[in-house]
Structure 1
Amino acid sequence: MPERLLLAHARGQVLFIAGAGVSMPAGLPSFRKLVVDVYGKLDTAVHTVITTSNDDEPGDVATLTNQQIAEVRRFKRRDYDVVLGMLERRMDDVPSGTSRVRATISEVLRSTRGKPAPIHRALMRLSDRGGTAAIVTTNFDGLLQAGTPGKGKPQTYALGGIPRPGRGRDFAGVLHIHGALDSNARRSADFVVTDQDFGEFYMRRRIVPDFIYDAARLFHLVLVGYSADDPPMRYLLNAIAADGVRFEDLKERFTFVGSERPDPVLVEDWKGRGITPIAYQNDDNHQALLSLLERWADFSAINGSPRKIDAAIKRIVKTPRNSASEPDRDLFDHFFRRSNMVERTRLSDLASRSGAELGWLDAIASVISERQGEVAGP
């Protein structure tokens, strides 16, 4: 974890954007799986082809119409937003909020609605800026809101109702930039899910790009739960990259990138899109990412656990600094670098009472002497 990101978080300058990968542990479908499930209910012929052949195979399309074959080809290219748009235009002619495709999407999401997963709870803890919390998501479900610790749940906003980014307390809540599933099953919901929707909200009305640009000027955006070829990610990256070229005041953006083994090409792919990747091994259902987010939340300068922070200080100083691991030295320095003078005094006293040798005390003095711009507060 880059310490510059940890320090930005300690200052309340981080805004998380959660993708489908965040809700999949709770049983919600990926974009691909959502498309498959929609075809399973609306067009069994196409559903059979896309579920019985690999993406690099044409599949048995002999009985399909030309329109259906075109949809299969787009599916295998992973253009899922285009596929749903083609299906909606074929079945409903004029796309609308009450189309069969959108009603089926709502049906699929409601039938797979699960309980918040640990990653939802960790992200909601990390989204607290100190008395107010804001998190952005391209998901339609309400699992982030449901995963908020305590009794008070944040407000949910979608599409045009989302508040404009700002540092004040009025910029708060779970912000569904692609729409949200309505809590009333009898009401239809507006989703940004087809190519036509993305064109409407990203290019014609520019609701999402303008929001992202304003947010990127105020916060370090941190993407969680996306792969590089997710259709929503392509649109988000294009919006960010365009503004990043024209404006110099956009803050550094980050994303968590999971892979089975180190993949330097994937890392460079993200860098080439103007995003700083934080790579991790994604085995055991991305357990490394969950563990990192939970530990980050436990050690948060805003609402972390003082007991766990103190326990970490006590554990670290039991080993002489020259013999300690680099992560332990970095963590120790970070606790002091992000703190105000009151907290530094308290932690220094704790380290001294815990038997810290001179190397640790010298490190404290070195951190305190750093220029003011590198610390979290006065």
Structure 2
Amino acid sequence: MSAGTIVKAVGVKDEGELQRRLFKHEFFILKAHGDAQRTGNGVILTERDYREILYRQRAYQHLLTGMFSMFSIVFVGASMNDPEMRLLLNYIADAYPQDSGPNHYAVMAKEEITSVEQERWFKDLKVQLIPISKDDDYAELTEFLVALRAAAT
């Protein structure tokens, strides 16, 4: 990926595009709650919406399981207390041995997490919390995203 490359965002209802990008190992951003700017793509907000996408849309369920079990996922701007996210992470943790598969990462405000929480997230779900400060309008987040982009090239 070159410095001028635009990273493609893929919505939850773009199963074909998501599968193609995973197969080709292409970097992308998953809009796990849908895309309000795309007609017909819908937005996933309620618990009922989550159940529909996770339990009734098998392709999406299998793609998510594959993503989480084969690739490191970086959560930015996601609530790690989202019940459906926790359900998925617990499902993956229960389905595979703890010492297998990739680690995942979540960028979170350091003012909102404790060292005990950091330890539990990693030990229970293989999610390493990356603490950033709210100071300077999350300036550290920009630095992190620039470094992540550089690492992906």
Q: TM-score, normalised by structure 1?
A: 0.33
**Alignment counterpart, residue 64 of structure 2, candidates 212, 222, 244:** 212
User: What is the match of residue 87 of structure 2?
Assistant: 238
1:222–1:254 CA contact under 8 A, matched in 2 = yes
1:247 aligns with 2:96: yes
Q: Secondary structure at the match of 2:106?
A: strand
Q: Distance in 1 between matches of 2:107 and 2:28?
A: 22
Superposed displacement of residue 156, structure 1: 4.9
Superposed displacement of residue 201, structure 1: 0.7
1:224-261 C-alpha deviation (Å, 9 max, x unpaired): 123433x3xx3123112212221245311111222238
- Unaligned segments of structure 2, at least 5 residues: none
1:158 aligns with 2:11: yes
**Alignment counterpart, residue 195 of structure 1, candidates 47, 58, 61:** 47
1:260–1:283 CA contact under 8 A, matched in 2 = no
Q: What are the residue-to-residue correspondences of 1:85-124 with 2, within 5 Å?
A: none
- Unaligned segments of structure 1, at least 5 residues: 1-127, 132-148, 303-378
1:180-231 C-alpha deviation (Å, 9 max, x unpaired): 1235xxx5651111121111111233454322211123311111123433x3
Quickly say closer, same or farther: Cα 1:283–1:273, change in 2 above 3 A: farther
Q: Secondary structure at the match of 1:242?
A: helix
Superposed displacement of residue 293, structure 1: 2.8
Quickly say closer, same or farther: Cα 1:212–1:273, change in 2 above 3 A: farther
Q: Secondary structure at the match of 1:254?
A: strand
2:13–2:41 CA contact under 8 A, matched in 1 = no
Query: What is the RMSD of the two structures over their aligned residues, measured on CA atoms?
Result: 3.1
Report which of the two has the higher share of strand: 2
Report the residue type matching 1:213 in the other structure: T
Moved >4 Å (runs of 4+): 152-156, 171-174
Quickly say closer, same or farther: Cα 1:199–1:267, change in 2 above 3 A: same
Q: Distance in 2 between matches of 1:262 and 1:174?
A: 25
1:254–1:276 CA contact under 8 A, matched in 2 = yes
Q: Secondary structure at the match of 2:22?
A: coil
Counting matched residue pairs gives 147
Report the residue type matching 2:107 in the other structure: F
Superposed displacement of residue 286, structure 1: 1.6
Q: Distance in 2 between matches of 1:296 and 1:247?
A: 27
Q: Percent sequence identity over matched residues?
A: 16
Task: State which structure, 1 or 2, has the greater radius of gyration over its C-alpha atoms.
Answer: 1
1:179–1:192 CA contact under 8 A, matched in 2 = yes
Q: Distance in 2 between matches of 1:158 and 1:194?
A: 17
Report the residue type matching 2:31 in the other structure: H
Quickly say closer, same or farther: Cα 1:293–1:174, change in 2 above 3 A: closer
Q: Distance in 2 between matches of 1:267 and 1:155?
A: 30
Q: Distance in 2 between matches of 1:256 and 1:282?
A: 12
User: What is the match of residue 53 of structure 1?
Assistant: none
Q: TM-score, normalised by structure 2?
A: 0.72
Superposed displacement of residue 175, structure 1: 3.6
Q: Distance in 1 between matches of 2:56 and 2:64?
A: 15
Q: Distance in 1 between matches of 2:122 and 2:51?
A: 25
Q: Distance in 1 between matches of 2:113 and 2:44?
A: 33
User: What is the match of residue 138 of structure 2?
Assistant: 286
Q: Distance in 2 between matches of 1:238 and 1:287?
A: 31
Q: Distance in 2 between matches of 1:301 and 1:174?
A: 13
Q: Distance in 2 between matches of 1:173 and 1:301?
A: 11
1:166–1:218 CA contact under 8 A, matched in 2 = no
Report the residue type matching 2:105 in the other structure: F
Superposed displacement of residue 167, structure 1: 4.4
Quickly say closer, same or farther: Cα 1:283–1:208, change in 2 above 3 A: farther
